[in-house]
Structure 1
Amino acid sequence: MKNLVEEPALAYNYGSPFKALLLNSYPEGKSDELFMEYSRNGIQKSSIKILAEYMGLNQETMSTFLHSSFRNIQRKSDDELLDKSKSERLLELTAFAKKAVEVLGSSEALAIWLQSSLPALSFKKPVEYLDTSFGLNILYDILGRIEHGIHA
């Protein structure tokens, strides 16, 4: 199976295959296949910076979500592949960011929302929930309520 994000024209338009994955919409199920392929093969370290900027976060914060020290991440070159667990974790955050932007309307709105104290989270900030899959599930639930017009 040919990977859509490895198509030269697509990668050229976005500057990197990861950015193409982050910013494109794919047919139902196709993005899951691409995310699975990337998590198995690893994604470039430069993807951390791309996602951090998209979510309005810094790379140091992103490294904590990958369960790694910022210094350890800094040691890698931008084109070096992350290991399987870090790649998978970054892709989980990517899928979340894509859904959040779909619901909230823009990456700028996502950045604001992540730093806002929410009553549904006992006035904690959503960014505090990004470090675990369970936290992401809680945030997905809140996004689902927002999407369906239920007070969150």
Structure 2
Amino acid sequence: MELANTEKQLSKELTSFLKDTAAYEHISIPNEIDYSDFLKSKIFLVFAIRSGLPYSIFNLIQRQSPFSLHDWSGFLNISYKSLQRYKAEKTRFKPLYTEKIFGMAEVLDTGVEVFGDLEKLKLWLTTENYSLGSLKPIELLRDSYGKDLVLAELTRIDHGILV
């Protein structure tokens, strides 16, 4: 139940954030943007990345993930202390970090669609995978090429293509 409420709140905050951002970019934003639809819209992602993500939205993404702030600091390649500073100062993440946050959000969203459950996804992410060079998928999420490999593997699983 809490996950559904978090996703509703996330959709609401993303819609508001994009409406503020879009005013400068001269694009129209629907009255409500579903979180999954947002992650699938490359143009919305581009505008959000350029603007920098507010910590409040990151916090909602982090809360609905199976990962701690320490895990996230590793994915973002940012110190835990710096991550805490973003929270305390209520500043926006730099575009580089925003892009990484959305990359992880995309993996999590796709993974939940494929496995139907956050716990099953976490188990898959933390288990060695022959198709990924016997690495754990979670080990590949620190950079964009690794993230792309993980997303491609999730797509293959979704289509029943097991290598």
Richer in helix (by share): 2
CA gap of 1:46–1:112, structure 2 versus 1, over 3 A, is: farther
Distance 1:111 1:140 in 2: 14
Measure the CA separation in 2 of the matches of 1:33 and 1:61. 28
Inter-partner Cα distance in structure 2 for 1:42 and 1:25: 19
State the TM-score, normalized to the length of structure 2: 0.71
Counterpart of 2:36?
Answer: 25
CA shift for structure 1 position 87:
0.9
Deviation of the 1:18 alpha carbon: 4.5
CA distance in 2, matches of 1:28, 1:34: 8
Asked if the contact 1:19–1:47 (Cα under 8 Å) also holds between the matched residues in 2, the reply is no
Mean Cα deviation higher: 103-112 or 128-137: 103-112
Structural mapping, 1:35-50, within 5 Å: 35-50=45-60
Among 59, 83, 90, the alignment partner of 1:73 is 83
Aligned-pair CA distance for 1:58 = 1.0
Inter-CA distance 83–118: structure 2 relative to 1 (3 Å threshold): same
TM-score normalised over the length of structure 1: 0.76
Greater mean deviation of Cα atoms: 16-25 or 98-107 = 16-25
What CA RMSD, in Å, does the superposition of the two structures yield over aligned residues? 3.1
Task: Write out per-residue CA displacement over residues 57-77 of structure 1, whole angstroms, 9 at most, x where no aligned residue.
Answer: 111111122121111111123
Residue segments in structure 2 that go unaligned for 5+ positions in a row:
1-5, 17-31
Is residue 128–residue 135 contact of structure 2 (8 Å, CA) maintained in 1?
Answer: yes
